[in-house]
Structure formats: C-alpha cells, structure tokens
Structure 1
Amino acid sequence: MPATTNLVHSYRHLLRAGLRAVQFSKPSRYIIRDVLRKEFRDPRGVFEAEKARRTVWFLNAAAQSRGLEHKILKNLCRVHWERKQVEHAVPWRMKVIKMTDDKARKWTLTKRPADSIKGTEFEHYDRTIAMLNDSMGLCLR
C-alpha cells in the first residue's frame, strides 16, 4: 500500500497534466476529473507509481504538441463522453407511443426487442486501450 501522500501527489500531477493537455476545454476537463476520481477511489485498484509517472509524461507530451499523443487523448475523452451520453439516453423505440385502445385511451410504450450486441460495443476499443497501456507502461482509461 503506497503512502497517502504519494497517492495525493500522483492524483494532482495527473489531473494538472490532463487539464493542460485538453487545454481546460469544458467537456474534456470534466471527463478527466471523473475518470481520475473513479480510478483513485476504486478499492480493488492497484497503484503503480511508474505507470503514473509515464502517464504524466504522456499527458505533458499531449499538451506540448498536436501529435499522436494529443489525438489519442482527444479520442479517449470523446469516447468517454459518448459512453456517458449513451448510458443516460432513452432508445428511440421507447419514445414511440402507441395507443392500445381507443375507448380507454390507454397509452403504452412500445417495447424494444432484445439486442444481442448491447453491452459489447466497446470490447474491441477497451482491448486496444489495454494493449496500448501494456506496451507503453501507461495507465490510460
């Protein structure tokens, strides 16, 4: 178990570097804050100081130039934002209202058929990020 001060310092370094990398833009800064909070509050999480240090280097490189690191970070933020929107969205088929009986004037929502792909949309993406983390020694999410 690392010392509490090491955790706090790593959290602050990652947050500062992440905010600089996204230039404090509104949707991205909240995504970076939320992801860091989630990861640092996870009781099953394992803190690795070397990975955190390399991730800070990666974020600093993303802040310095609009190269590959910046594009990767931009896409990470975009996918996290899209996932958050999908979780709170109501499927369009659920928005369609159908009248069942003219006399009773009862309205029901149409039921959406079971979707076999639901929940597996981001498997390939998650595996790609995991391989990137393993090959570069990073802790991106």
Structure 2
Amino acid sequence: MITLYVDAARDIHTGQTAAGTVIIIDKIQSQQKTALPVTQDNHEAEFCALIWALQQLPKKIDILKIYSDSQILIDAIDKQYAKHYQPFVDNIIKLLSPYPLVLNQWLPEKENLGAHHLALQALQQHKLSQ
C-alpha cells in the first residue's frame, strides 16, 4: 500500500507553483518537493501537484491512498470530472489506472502540514534561485 499526501503552493502574483508530497510505502516515509510550471489559479496548481506526485510512485502496488486538502481535487477524482480542469482530471485518471484500488480523502490543511510545508519550501527555493 502507498499512502500519498500532496499539496501545492502558488505565488498569486507570478503564478509560480510548487508541490510537496509525503509518500509512505511499507511504513517507510519519503518527502519530495519540486517547482512546477506557472499555473492559472490555485485549483490548477493542486491538479498539477497531484500529477507530479503520481509520477513519483512505483506502479507495482495494489492500494493507493491519496490525501489532499483540495476539495475540488478530491471531488474531481471521485467524479472523474471537473468542468474547467478536465484535461488534468483525464491525466490523473490515466496515472491512477495501474492501481487496482485507489482511495482518496479530503483532509483539513492542518492535517496535511507535511506536504504543505514541503510545497512552501520548494516555492521559496524557486524564488531565491531566480
């Protein structure tokens, strides 16, 4: 089983986006963060963060549990639809296809602090490197 906590951070002035994820596989935790391309809004940033996080995972695990503090992201995965973000949803569905069972759950930001702080760190590091 893989447990994935994911979050995005976005600079509202520049659109610069970053992602952070905490991945737990067989009780072993890893933390990853990265800068992402510029996004149009916070929702798009969350979709991009999940796409990036899913690309970091091994495909040979049966159960994937996804946790995010983005309600629109979780709803879009459940419905396999998001009016303004359908290309992102389609990409996510494709990336989820190797996993026989995918569980996802919204959680409050205060319960997703690990991924949240990683995303903020990546955004700050990107700003400093420019």
Q: TM-score, normalised by structure 1?
A: 0.24
Q: Which has the higher contact order (CA 8 A, sep 6+)?
A: 2
Structure holding more helix per residue: 1
Q: TM-score, normalised by structure 2?
A: 0.26
